[in-house]
Amino acid sequence: MSLTFHPLSLERQTEYKHRLKKCPQISSDYSFVNIWSWRDIYGLEWAWTDSLVFIRQNSPQVQYWAPIGPWQDQDWAAELSDLPSGICLTRIPSQLAELLTQQLPQRANLHPAPEHFDYLYDVQELIELRGNRFHKKKNLLNQFKRSYNFTYIPLTVEAVEKALTLQTEWCLWRDCEDSTTLEAENRAILTAFEDWNKLEDVFGGGLLS
């Protein structure tokens, strides 16, 4: 069965999230909000099979991301046979990498990519900011509290309009156009904000001064 790739669509986000939940290990790269926000920058497309979603990146070069679905139930030799030979799979979570190594020991050649590792934070540590490790951050927080009279607000559709304005002003201040990385991140953020009311289960907050 050959794979047919199509542009991402909002109409299938619920179905995509259902497939994502079946992955034994979920990376933040694969949240629907993330792939939707970055779809134009990376030229992302997807192809659907009975149990998996394949994601293809077309820019700046063609690469294939990890298939989404119940990895443990797959015959990977068969599933990957529809992809071009000698392809590079990128952003592969460690549990899928182990499965591919077990099933395809002669074909899988793994290389760590620290730039794609997820950040993990301890919520309680960030709440308390105790010890020398967080000394500078706590000082900055206290300085902010002394300097501004602020209110926390949830990111409703109305608040997102303010966030869009702030993001645009910040990018002008940082000269995003002179940095490929910052410009790409800015485009992804703007996309998420512009489609905020169309994205499922997305939430956030802001400080209004």
- d(CA 174, CA 142) in angstroms, rounded, equals 25
State the pLDDT at residue 28. 94
Cα dihedral across residues 40, 42, 43, 49: positive or negative: negative
| Per-residue burial over 28-56, b = 16 or more CB atoms within 10 Å of its CB, e = otherwise | ebbbbbebbbbbebbebbbbbeeebbbbb
Range of the domain at 51: 6-116
Contacts of 59 (CB under 8 A, 6+ apart): 41, 42, 43
Same domain, 71 and 132: no
Residue at a domain's end among 116, 145, 164? 116
Same domain, 184 and 107: no
The helix/strand/coil state of 59 is: coil
Residue at a domain's end among 116, 150, 177? 116
Same domain, 42 and 14: yes
Kindly report which listed range (50-54, 84-88, 93-97, 138-142) carries the lowest average pLDDT score: 84-88
Q: pLDDT averaged over the chain? A: 93
Same domain, 66 and 39: yes
Same domain, 100 and 175: no
The pTM score is: 0.90
Does the residue 192 lie in any domain? yes
Same domain, 76 and 25: yes
Number of domains the chain contains: 2
Does the residue 1 lie in any domain? no
Q: What are the tens digits of pLDDT across the range 23-72?
A: 999 999 999 999 999 999 999 999 999 999 999 999 999 999 999 999 99
- d(CA 18, CA 161) in angstroms, rounded, equals 30
Percent of the chain topping pLDDT 90: 80
Higher pLDDT, 118 or 143: 143
State the pLDDT at residue 1. 56
Residue at a domain's end among 116, 136, 170? 116
Question: Do strands 53-57 and 205-208 pair parallel, antiparallel, or not at all (unpaired)?
Answer: unpaired
CATH number at residue 41: 3.40.630.30
Sheet of strand 53-57: strand arrangement:
6-7, 45-48, 53-57, 63-65, 89-90
Same domain, 107 and 165: no
Same domain, 173 and 138: yes
The helix/strand/coil state of 174 is: coil
Q: What are the tens digits of pLDDT across the range 191-208?
A: 999 999 999 989 999 998
Does the residue 28 lie in any domain? yes
Same domain, 170 and 106: no
Same domain, 88 and 181: no
Same domain, 91 and 132: no
Percent of the chain topping pLDDT 70: 100
Same domain, 51 and 108: yes
Q: Are 8 and 39 in contact (CB under 8 A)?
A: yes
Question: Would you say residue 152 has pLDDT above 80?
Answer: yes
